[in-house]
């Protein structure tokens, strides 16, 4: 109850400040002396400070930018709810104390943007006590308050909006609240309870100017004909003292440019209810434009997939024929013509490389279009590792140059190594990584295997090859990217294997493939899959 009284007195004081501010502005406009503009600026800054900090819909904090490091000097009640600590525990703390460590640099960069452009918009995220990700829409304002440069940040939780955008974009505008789609109301109506219904006391636009003066003293049912539900919502708001009442969606020409709107009621005083009106027209139009763009993109994706399927079939047939004839000629010539046999093997190897490239391109197209499905089944990992080792030992033995030894590591005993996963995709990831390791390892060792790690299965492939330059590491999973180091086996790839492996690992629940490498020492790739 004391909180409600504090809120009432605070809002009453805010209304008086706003009224005083408007009266002072009117008087100042009549003055022509040079000092009037400076005085007006001070009043504007004070009013803006009060307005930004008084938000009932957003968490707001004030940051003193003149202190080093920046500290929090003020906050509203919503900020204490968000941080789950008292106002006393917030004030005076360094603002970076409340920012996750991996976002501190990003946060400071955005503070600089606010300071430079006076207003700036960005996003932050954190994990709550249940390890659920929360996304915040942040708007920063730079202004002078009490002769100090401060920044006011307003945080809005948009996690629910982002989930709707991902799960059901068609209904996002209708289902998402106005407060998560628009920062400020375009109109604010103050209704006074008259014992039976509600009469309009005043209406303001987003700049705080009085509007709809002709509607003052009219009741809500006259202003919004056919919307009896709004009156019911207002009575509930008043009766229960709701800070955030039920939200309603409005469709129709509310004003000249507002067709779609969201109504949000909140309790103000014992006989007052505030109606904030948010314009959703622009969001609705943007949503419709996005839907059109989405359909076009889907059509384009379908055309691309059909084209790739057709061109793949057209290329495979002649390439398979060329490869078949080359092998046939090699068999018939035997050892009688070593030169001819060499040519045939070269033709066969080159056609296989082109076919592998086509397979990689088709695989990547399926991944990016979402057509690739993960099919889970039980698999014994030890047998999988042994089968892969046998394959690569046979391949490396066929080469006439020095090739690496193949070593394996299996963490569990036979019978304990059953793992529920997609065996085909797991095999594909490991083979792509092993292919890459063998390609750049002369002599030395290529090792691969798995280990049980914190409830996950950690798979790895490491080699003692040429290594990867540090400047190339951030880009090695990019499509068609190839480092400058040359293949030691003379079989250069097209730069798709690692990209495909990365996509597959992420589709199987991994956070992605990690890599460490040092030139001349070798590389280690690893990824974890929930077990």
Summarize the confidence of residues 322-337 as an average pLDDT. 72
| pLDDT: which is higher, 310 or 504 | 504
Mean pLDDT, all residues of the chain: 75
The answer on pLDDT for 34 being more than 80 is: no
User: How does residue 251 score in pLDDT terms, banded at 50, 70 and 90?
Assistant: low
> DSSP strand E in 5-116: where?
59-64, 71-75
**Angle between helix 2-30 and 35-53 (nearest 10):** 160
Of 75-79, 82-86, 476-480, the range with the lowest mean pLDDT is 476-480
pLDDT of 22: 52
User: How does residue 2 score in pLDDT terms, banded at 50, 70 and 90?
Assistant: very low
pLDDT of 78: 84
Rounded CA gap, 76 and 170, in Å? 35
Task: Record the pTM.
Answer: 0.43
The answer on pLDDT for 339 being more than 50 is: yes
Virtual CA dihedral for 494, 498, 504, 507, nearest 10 degrees? -120
> DSSP strand E in 338-487: where?
377-380, 405-410, 418-421, 445-453, 456-463
Structure tokens, 327:
């092998």
pLDDT in tens, 104-140: 767 887 888 888 778 887 888 777 666 677 788 888 8
Summarize the confidence of residues 140-145 as an average pLDDT. 87
pLDDT of 333: 66
Q: Are 101 and 81 in contact (CB under 8 A)?
A: no
Q: Is 29 exposed, middle or buried (0-12, 13-18, 19+ CB in 10 A)?
A: exposed
User: How does residue 482 score in pLDDT terms, banded at 50, 70 and 90?
Assistant: low
Distance set, CA 225 to CA 22, 230, 231, 252, 446 (Å): 32, 10, 11, 12, 77
CATH class of 179-279: alpha beta
> DSSP strand E in 128-259: where?
133-145, 148-157, 187-193, 198-205, 247-251
Domain 377-530 has CATH 3.30.565.10: yes
The answer on pLDDT for 381 being more than 80 is: yes
pLDDT of 513: 92
487: CB partners within 8 A, 6+ apart: 439, 440, 493
Please name every residue paired with 450 in a beta bridge, in sequence order, or none if there are none.
410, 459
């Amino acid at each position: 109850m004391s909180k409600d009284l504090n809120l009432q007195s605070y809002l009453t004081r805010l209304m008086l400040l706003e009224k005083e501010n408007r009266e002072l502005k009117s008087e100042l406009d009549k003055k022509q002396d040079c000092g009037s503009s400076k005085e007006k600026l001070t009043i504007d800054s004070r009013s803006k400070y009060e307005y930004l900090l008084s938000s009932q819909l957003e968490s707001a904090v004030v940051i003193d930018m003149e202190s080093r490091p920046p500290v929090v000097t003020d906050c509203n009640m919503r900020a204490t709810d968000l941080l789950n600590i008292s106002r006393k525990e917030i004030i005076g703390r360094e603002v970076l104390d409340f920012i996750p460590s991996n976002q501190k640099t990003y946060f400071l960069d955005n503070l600089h943007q606010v300071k430079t452009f006076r207003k700036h918009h960005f996003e932050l995220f954190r994990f709550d006590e249940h390890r659920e990700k929360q996304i915040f829409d942040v708007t920063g304002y730079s202004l002078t308050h009490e002769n100090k440069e401060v920044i006011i940040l307003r945080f809005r939780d948009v996690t629910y909006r982002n989930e709707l955008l991902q799960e059901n974009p068609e209904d996002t505008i209708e289902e998402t609240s106005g407060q998560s789609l628009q920062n400020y109301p375009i109109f604010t109506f103050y209704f006074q309870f008259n014992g039976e219904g509600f009469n309009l006391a005043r209406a303001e636009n987003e700049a705080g100017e009085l509007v709809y003066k002709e509607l003052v003293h009219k009741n809500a049912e006259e202003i919004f004909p056919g919307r009896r539900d709004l009156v019911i919502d207002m009575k509930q708001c008043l009766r229960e003292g709701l800070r955030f009442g039920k939200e309603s969606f409005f469709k129709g020409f509310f004003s000249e440019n507002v067709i779609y709107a969201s109504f949000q009621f909140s309790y103000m005083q014992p006989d007052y209810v505030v109606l904030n009106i948010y314009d959703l027209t622009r969001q609705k139009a943007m949503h419709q434009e996005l839907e059109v763009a989405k359909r076009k993109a889907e059509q384009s994706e379908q055309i691309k997939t059909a084209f790739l399927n057709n061109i793949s079939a057209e290329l495979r047939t002649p390439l398979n024929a060329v490869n078949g004839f080359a092998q046939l000629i090699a068999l018939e010539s035997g050892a009688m013509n070593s030169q001819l046999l060499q040519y045939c093997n070269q033709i066969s190897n080159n056609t296989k490389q082109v076919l592998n490239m086509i397979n990689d391109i088709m695989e990547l197209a399926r991944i990016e279009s979402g057509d690739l499905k993960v099919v889970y089944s039980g698999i014994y990992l030890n047998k999988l590792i042994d089968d892969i080792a046998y394959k690569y030992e046979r391949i490396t033995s066929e080469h006439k140059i020095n090739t690496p030894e193949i070593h394996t590591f299996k963490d569990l005993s036979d019978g304990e190594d059953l793992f529920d996963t997609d065996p085909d995709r797991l095999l594909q990831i490991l083979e792509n990584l092993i292919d890459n390791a063998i390609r750049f390892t002369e002599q030395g060792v290529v090792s691969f295997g798995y280990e049980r790690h914190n409830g996950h299965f950690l798979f790895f492939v490491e080699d003692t090859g040429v290594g990867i330059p540090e400047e190339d590491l951030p880009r090695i999973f990019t499509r068609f990217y190839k480092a400058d180091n040359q293949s030691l086996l003379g079989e250069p790839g097209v730069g798709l294997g690692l990209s495909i492996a990365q996509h597959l690992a992420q589709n199987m629940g991994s956070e992605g493939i990690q890599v460490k490498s040092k030139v001349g020492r070798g590389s280690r790739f690893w990824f974890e899959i929930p077990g």
